[in-house]
Amino acid sequence: MGLVACLVALVAFVTPSMVSALPRHSAPTLVKTHDGWVRGVAVAEADKFLGIPYAAPPTGERRWRPPAAPASWQGVRKATTDAPACAQPAGGLLPGESSAAEDCLYLSVYRPAHVAGKRLPVLFWIHGGGYGSGAGRLYDGSALAAKNDAIVVSINYRVNAFGFLALESLDDEQGNSGNYGFLDQLAALRWVNKNIAAFGGDPRRVTIDGQSAGAFSVCNMLAAPAAKGLFSAAIMQSGGTCPTASKASYEAGMKAIVKEAGCPDSDAKAQLACMRHKSVAELIEAMEKAPLTESWSPVVGGNALPTEPLEAVKSGRWNKVPVLMGTTRDEARAMLHFIGQSFPQTEEAYQEVIRSFFGDQADKILEEYPAADYTDPAYATAAVLTDSGTPGGLGGCGQLAAADVFAAHTDTYFYELYDPNAPPLTDPPAPKGFQMGSAHSADLAYVFQDGFAQQAAPFTQSQRALSDKIMRYWANFARQGSPNRHGEAVWPKYRGGGNGIVQLSPGNVSVMPDYEAEHHCSFWRSLEGA
C-alpha cells in the first residue's frame, strides 16, 4: 500500500469522537493535572480553567467530614464553566440567588496567555461572605493574571452550617468540629502546591490572599500547623484581626439549628444520622429559623486550628511569612444595611445604635463623635463602627492593633484604600443619596479590575490607573514578598504605631501621616482600660 493510501486509511479509521478524546499536547489551554487532563478557554490575553475539582463531593456520609481526594478521570475534562456556589440561602453575596449544591469543592485557575517555560508567582484567592455565603466565581482573575504575569486561583469552600457546624457529635479523634470549610481551603491549597506547575505557576511562590472572612481565613492559615510550607506570603484585605470562635460560644446556636431541623439532642449518633439525612433545603430552612447569637466562624481547638492566630504570632508558633494587610477608609458604611439602619438617620436613632453596641461607654463615644459634625447621623454611626472595628474588627483601630502584632514579628506592609467615589456595588445597595465612599468590599473592584461580579459602575480613568497600580503591588508582593518595584511609588514597611501606612487613592499613593488621628485611635485605646 502506498503512503497516500495508508494516510487515507488512517484518517478514515480515526473517528471524530476519538479525536475529541485525545489530548492535543500543543493546545494552549490543555493541561495535565495529577487527576487528569483539563481543557480551559482562551479569552483575550488570558487562559481560564474553570470548575476543576480539588476534593470529592462532600455529600451523603461525607457531609461534615474533612475533604477527601477527588476521583481521577479519563479523557479530557472541560474546564470552561464556573462551578456552582456551595449551598447557601438567598441573599448574602449572591443577591436574589440561592444554591443547593453540596457538590461544590472546585477551583478556577487564571493565567496569562503565554506561559511556556515560565514559573509564575501564584495568588490564591479566598472569598469573603462572613463564612456564610459567597463563591469563587464572583472573582474573575483574568486581568490580574494577564496584566501582571501571575497565576490567580479562586476557590469555593463549604460555608454556613455545611462548613462550620460545631457539635460534640461531630468531634473527630483530633477534636476537630466546625472547621470543614477551613479544611476545604487547606485541601485546595495542597492541590495548588501539587498541580500549579502544570499551569505555569511556581509552587514555591504561592501567596494566600483573601478579603473579609477570606482574610480571616488567611490569618487562620498563618496559625494552622497543616498549612506549614504551603505558601510564601499572605495578604489580608479588611480582615487582619483574625476573629475565631470557641465551641462553647457556638453551642447554643448550633443546638438551635439541630432543633429546628427536627433532630434529637440527647443521642449523638442518632443526631448525626438525622442531620446527615436532611436535605439541603431542610437544613437551610433550619438555619434561617434558628436564633444564632454568633456569626459563622472556624472553631479554635483540635489540630486544625489549635491556637488563636494572633496569639500564635505573638508566641512565635506560626507560619512566618511576609504580610500585606489593610482596610478601606469607610468600612462600616456597608454595614448599616445589615444592622437595620436607614438613611437619612435621625440623631435619636444614632444614639440608640451607639448605646446598643457600647453600653456604658456610649456617652463618651457620642461626645467624641457628635452628630453635628456629620452631614447625616448615618455617617457618624458608620464612623464609630469603622474606627472601633465593631462589628467584626474590620476597620480603623482594630486593624491597626493587628498590624502592630504582625509588624513586631515579620515584614509587614499596611494600606488604607481611600476613594470617596469608589464604584458602587450591587450588594448591599446604597440608599438613595447615601455616599458609600470606600466601604467594605470597595477594594475588590480594584484588585480584580473588571472581574468582580458585584461592581455596579465602570471605573473613571484615574480609578482604572489606581486599579492597575494595586494589581502591580499585589503581584510584586506575590513575586518577591515586597510590593515595591522600580518605577513605583515606594511602599515602606509598616513599623508599628501608625508609622508607614500607605494610602491608596486615585491620583495619589503616599504615606499617611494621620491614620491614628483620622480614626480616633488614641480615644479608642483610652476606652480599653475604662
**Residuewise pLDDT in 10s, the chain (530 residues):** 443 343 333 333 333 333 333 333 345 799 999 999 999 999 989 999 999 999 999 999 999 999 999 999 999 999 999 999 999 998 777 766 778 899 999 999 999 998 888 999 999 999 999 999 999 999 999 999 999 999 999 999 999 999 999 988 888 655 667 899 999 999 999 999 999 999 999 999 999 999 999 999 999 999 999 999 999 999 999 998 888 888 887 888 899 999 999 999 888 899 999 999 999 999 999 999 998 767 899 999 878 999 999 999 999 999 999 999 999 999 999 988 888 888 999 999 999 999 999 999 999 999 999 999 999 999 999 999 999 988 777 889 999 999 999 999 999 999 999 999 999 888 777 888 999 999 999 999 999 999 999 998 999 999 999 999 999 999 999 999 999 987 777 899 999 999 999 999 999 999 999 999 999 999 999 998 65
Q: Residue 339 falls within a domain, yes or no?
A: yes
Position 494, amino acid: Y
Q: Residue 128 falls within a domain, yes or no?
A: yes
- SS3 label, residue 253: helix
Distance CA 269, CA 271 (A): 5
Q: Residue 464 falls within a domain, yes or no?
A: yes
Total residue count of the chain as it appears in this document: 530
Asked if 347 and 467 sit in the same domain, the reply is yes
Residue 30 phi, psi dihedral angles, 5° rounding: -110, 120
Q: Residue 295 falls within a domain, yes or no?
A: no
Asked if 73 and 185 sit in the same domain, the reply is yes
* Residue in 133, 169, 297, 331 annotated catalytic: 331
Distance CA 109, CA 413 (A): 26
Asked if 185 and 82 sit in the same domain, the reply is yes
Distance CA 57, CA 69 (A): 9
Asked if 227 and 264 sit in the same domain, the reply is no
Q: Residue 296 falls within a domain, yes or no?
A: no
Distance CA 211, CA 126 (A): 7
Distance CA 390, CA 383 (A): 10
Distance CA 261, CA 275 (A): 7
Residue 473 phi, psi dihedral angles, 5° rounding: -60, -45
Q: Residue 267 falls within a domain, yes or no?
A: yes
Which class for 9: exposed (0-12), middle (13-18), buried (19 or more C-beta within 10 A)?
Answer: exposed
* Residue in 169, 232, 238, 440 annotated catalytic: 440
Distance CA 449, CA 445 (A): 6
Asked if 276 and 333 sit in the same domain, the reply is no
Residue with cell 453540596: 102
Q: Residue 294 falls within a domain, yes or no?
A: no
Asked if 278 and 327 sit in the same domain, the reply is no
**How many domains is the chain partitioned into structurally?**
3
Asked if 470 and 352 sit in the same domain, the reply is yes
* Residue in 212, 238, 297, 505 annotated catalytic: 212
Asked if 110 and 196 sit in the same domain, the reply is yes
Q: Residue 202 falls within a domain, yes or no?
A: yes
The answer to whether residue 212 is catalytic is: yes
CATH number reported for the structural domain that contains residue 437 in this entry: 3.40.50.1820
Asked if 334 and 483 sit in the same domain, the reply is yes
Nearest 10 degrees: CA dihedral of 140, 143, 149, 155? Answer: -10
Compute CA 237 distance to the chain's CA centroid, rounded to the nearest angstrom.
8
**For the range 355-363, what are the long-range contacts, defined as Cβ-Cβ under 8 Å and sequence gap of 24 or more?**
357/384, 357/385, 357/390, 357/391, 358/388, 358/390, 361/527, 361/530
Q: Name the domain boundary from 280, 315, 350.
A: 315
Asked if 257 and 339 sit in the same domain, the reply is no
Residue with cell 489606581: 466
Nearest 10 degrees: CA dihedral of 331, 83, 216, 474? Answer: -70
Asked if 106 and 118 sit in the same domain, the reply is yes
Distance CA 195, CA 202 (A): 10
Cell of residue 441, nine digits: 468590599
The pTM (predicted TM-score) of the whole model is: 0.93
Asked if 308 and 330 sit in the same domain, the reply is no
CB 41 within 8 A of CB 78: no
Distance CA 377, CA 348 (A): 9
- Residue 456's region, left for phi above 0, alpha for psi from -120 to 50, else beta, is alpha
Range of the domain at 182: 3-61+69-90+99-246+302-315
Residue with cell 486544625: 304
